[in-house]
Amino acid sequence: MRTERLTALVRRCAVPFLLAATAAALFGAVLYGTVRTRLSLGEPALVSGYALLALALLLAAFNLRKRLNPVARAPAASWKRLHVVGGSLALALFWLHVGAFWPIGPYERALAVLFYGVTASGLFGYACQQFYPRRLAQTGVEVIFERVPDEIAALRERAEAAVLACTETHHSNTLARFYVETFQWFFRKPRFLLSHLWGGQRAAYWVAQQLTSARRYLGPKEHAYLDELGDLAHAKARLDLHYAVQGLLKIWLHVHVPVAAGMLVLALWHTLIVNIYRL
């Protein structure tokens, strides 16, 4: 058993290690070419610049891979590792190309802002993809982001039906008044989104507090309806978690991809201008 675990661990670490070693070797080759060009009184920025442009085009192919999924044979996890290692290599090449953390000149600074924006959003997205899928799996719920509002509406209808049934059966409006004053707000739309994103339990605590408060004013026969209402509220809180997390992942892509596209266009224009001035 230990041998099998050790073998599995080695296999998991082999691919990231090989990618990191390849990235280090590529950076070493570009650094060597840059130094050699400088010693021969050439233009060392061209070596790192063209290497950085080629790498940026390769990283852009990651998004193309998602759009052409039947064509791509490599698993998404392998492409993700390649994207992360390639992004780290691109950051090192950028510093080598610029020669400083912050370049001089408005055009170069605009390109730097876009590059750092792509890097920061990429790191943020990678961290989210490492942390949030596990939390979503713990809910035991699988739901598409676009279906979350419909699922919440269905839970709201069931909650209101339970409250109405309690009122008609026991001729008491206590649970109905409690629902209007508390849970009607909760079931109207996703709530406690920031708490869900930070891994907090505000939604669960709020639901438990409301149920405890209402139970004191309800008769024993009405407790079953309150318990049903509580189950629906906890189910709705799990949907809220999906809405918050999946929404954040979508927002991240809507930031990362356009900024990366803008950076790539500006980099191509920069390459064109440099070659025109060389002529």
Residues 93 and 153 both lie in one domain = no
Are both 167 and 242 inside the same structural domain?
A: yes
Read off the pTM.
0.80
Pair 81, 157 in one domain: no
Give the confidence band of 41 by pLDDT, cuts at 50, 70, 90.
confident
Domain count, the chain: 2
Closest CA to 220 of 180, 156, 177, 175: 175
Mean pLDDT of 23-41: 88
pLDDT confidence tier of residue 103, bands split at 50, 70 and 90:
confident
* 155 and 229 together in one domain: yes
Q: Do both 23 and 80 map to the same domain?
A: yes
| Domain-terminating residue out of 75, 98, 121 | 98
Percent of the chain predicted with pLDDT > 90: 43
Does residue 219 lie in a domain region?
Answer: yes
Is 113 inside any structural domain? Answer: no
Q: Tell me which DSSP letter residue 171 carries.
A: T
- What pLDDT sits at residue 3? 58
Q: What is the mean pLDDT of residues 105-134?
A: 89
Mean pLDDT within 152-162: 96
DSSP string over 199-248: T--HHHHHHHHHHHHHHTTS-GGGHHHHHHHHHHHHHHHHHHHHHHHHHH
Return the pLDDT at 4: 55
Q: Residues 92, 152: one domain?
A: no
Rounded CA-CA distance 156/192 in Å is: 17
The answer to whether residue 254 sits within a structural domain is: no
Q: What is the mean pLDDT of residues 34-56?
A: 87
Higher-scoring residue by pLDDT: 278, 141: 141
Q: Helix (H, G, I), strand (E, B), or coil: what is residue 84?
A: helix
Question: Does residue 2 register a pLDDT over 60?
Answer: no
DSSP 99: S
| Confidence (pLDDT) at 196 | 93
**Domain membership of residue 33 as a residue range:** 1-98
Q: Is 72 helix (H, G, I), strand (E, B) or coil?
A: coil
- Residue at 181 is within a domain: yes
- Look at residue 172 and give its three-state secondary structure: coil
Mean predicted confidence (pLDDT) in 161-177: 93
Point out the domain boundary residue: 98, 123, 157: 98
Buried b (16+ CB within 10 A) or exposed e, 58-73: ebeebeebeeeeeebe
Query: 43 falls in which pLDDT band (50, 70, 90)?
Result: confident
Is residue 40 in some structural domain?
A: yes
Mean of the per-residue pLDDT values for the chain? 86
60 inside domain = yes
Tell whether the model's pLDDT for residue 116 goes beyond 80: yes
- Which is more confidently placed, 44 or 176? 176
Pair (79, 13) in one structural domain: yes
Cα–Cα distance measured from residue 81 to residue 15, given in angstroms and rounded to the nearest whole number: 8
3-class SS at 164? helix
If you average pLDDT over residues 16-38, what whole number do you get? 86
Q: Which range (9-13, 100-104, 173-177, 223-227) has the least confidence?
A: 9-13
Whether pLDDT at 58 is above 50: yes
The pLDDT of residue 71: 46
| In a domain? residue 19 | yes
**Average confidence (pLDDT) over 223-233:** 95
Indicate whether 63 belongs to any domain: yes
Q: Is pLDDT of 84 > 80?
A: yes
- Tell me, yes or no, whether 89 and 150 share the same domain: no
Residue 228 has pLDDT above 90, yes or no: yes
Sign of the torsion formed by the C-alpha atoms of 259, 261, 265 and 271: positive
Taking only the tens place, the pLDDT of each residue in 210-222 is: 999 999 999 889 9
Instruction: Give 89's contacts (C-beta < 8 A, 6+ positions apart).
Output: 23, 26, 27, 55
